Amino acid sequence: MTTFNYETDFELSDEVALETWVEMIISNKGFEPGEINFIFCDDEYLHRLNVEFLQHDTLTDVISFDNSLGKLISGDIFISVERVKENASDFNVTFDEELHRVMIHGILHFLGFKDKTPEDEKLMRQEENNALSLLNN
């Protein structure tokens, strides 16, 4: 089950469609959706988590905490709505496109995709684009 939680003045416009999309991506990769929580917050909230849990004193758009067991995908994905807005502007894409990219980025990490090397980052980007194309159909 996918849930959406809000720690800031923001709400998704179509939670049901996004839940269906996220769970379809998980299933398409041969995994089973478990308990997935998206938490939408501001920069300050996510910065505190980044410092406390990852010892990174930087702003970021997404942090994911993976609680998956085997093929059952579960975890918490924290997203800074402020970072997404700024990144959408920087990358010249819509807010929704950037938000959906960040959401699925967290899910892809749970599915085993990495982004630390240029090769991994390229594969992650391809997987994000594939997932986004399924949402936009």
47 is in an annotated binding site: no
Q: Which residues of 53-73 are buried (b: 16+ CB within 10 A; e: fewer)?
A: eeeeeeebbbbbbeebeeeeb
109 is in an annotated binding site: yes
100 is in an annotated binding site: no
Q: How far apart are CA 133 and CA 108, in angstroms?
A: 15
User: What residues are designated binding site for Zn(2+)?
Assistant: 105, 109, 115
User: What residues are designated binding site?
Assistant: 105, 109, 115
